[in-house]
């Protein structure tokens, strides 16, 4: 899904968004899924997509992996998860309105710098069975 919006670093004009989600793709996502099964699961919600996994929850619970994209929410539209270090070239409320009007998309979802939209309405608490199925897939 392509959007006509550009992204620029938030600092110094504005502070970074507080991380409340993380998006991992490919090997990093699969490696994380395997590791999560070896310990008590953190209190996070997960959305699984073909490219990877989005985890939602408090910053201190989010895992770190090299290449992870941390997501935060702007108070102007808290149902949109945006890259925590980047600001879109249009107000987030306009972004949400444009996505709804032009593409029939409604929050919650995550937007990435590569202009990908990841629907998050299906977010569910992390569970071992789902993780196992994803690893096997």
Partner 1 sequence: MDTVNPEASLAPLSAALAAAKQGLVDRGVLVDLVVLSAVAGEHALVIGPPGTAKSQAVRRIANALGGQYFEYLLGRFTEPNEIFGPVDLARLREGVVETLTTGMLPEAEIAFLDEVFQGSSAILNTLLGILQERRFRRGLTMMDCPLRICVAASNQLPEDPSLEAFADRFLVRVFVDRVPDPSLDELLASGWTLTDRLNAVASVNDLRAAHEAMRAVDLAAVRPLLAAALRELRGAGIVLSDRRAVKCQRLIAAAATLAGRAVASNADLWPVIYALPTLDQQTLAQEKLRAMLAASDNATLPSAAEDASAGPLARARRIEKAGHALLAARPAQPDHAWQLQLEGVAREIDATFHASQMPEAIAALRRSLVAELRA
Which residue ranges make up the site for partner 1 (CB under 8 A)? Answer: 9-16, 19, 58-60, 62-64, 66, 68, 70, 72, 83-86
Burial letters 37-53, b for 16+ CB under 10 A, else e: eeeeeeebebbbbeebb
CB of 70 to partner 1, least distance (A): 4
CB of 71 to partner 1, least distance (A): 9
> Judged by CB, which is closer to partner 1: 38, or 104?
38
Q: Which residue has the tokens 């699969």?
A: 30
> Judged by CB, which is closer to partner 1: 42, or 105?
42
> Judged by CB, which is closer to partner 1: 63, or 119?
63
d(CA 84, CA 73): 8
CB of 106 to partner 1, least distance (A): 26
d(CA 125, CA 26): 21
CB of 69 to partner 1, least distance (A): 8
> Judged by CB, which is closer to partner 1: 35, or 102?
35
Token reading at 97: 């309105």
**CA distance readout (Å), 66 to 22, 23, 25, 88:** 12, 11, 11, 24
């Amino acid at each position: 899904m392509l959007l006509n919006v550009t992204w620029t670093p938030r600092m110094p004009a504005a502070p970074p968004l507080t991380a409340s989600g993380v998006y991992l793709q490919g090997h990093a996502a699969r490696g994380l899924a395997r590791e999560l099964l070896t310990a008590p699961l953190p209190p996070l919600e997960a959305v699984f997509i073909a490219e990877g996994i989005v985890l939602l929850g408090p910053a201190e619970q989010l895992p770190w992996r090299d290449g992870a994209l941390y997501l935060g929410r702007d108070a102007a539209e808290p149902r949109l998860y945006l890259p925590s270090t980047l600001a879109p070239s249009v107000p987030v409320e306009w972004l949400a309105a444009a996505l709804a009007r032009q593409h029939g998309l409604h929050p919650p979802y995550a937007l990435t710098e590569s202009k990908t939209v990841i629907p998050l309405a299906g977010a569910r608490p992390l569970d071992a069975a789902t993780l196992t199925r994803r690893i096997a897939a």
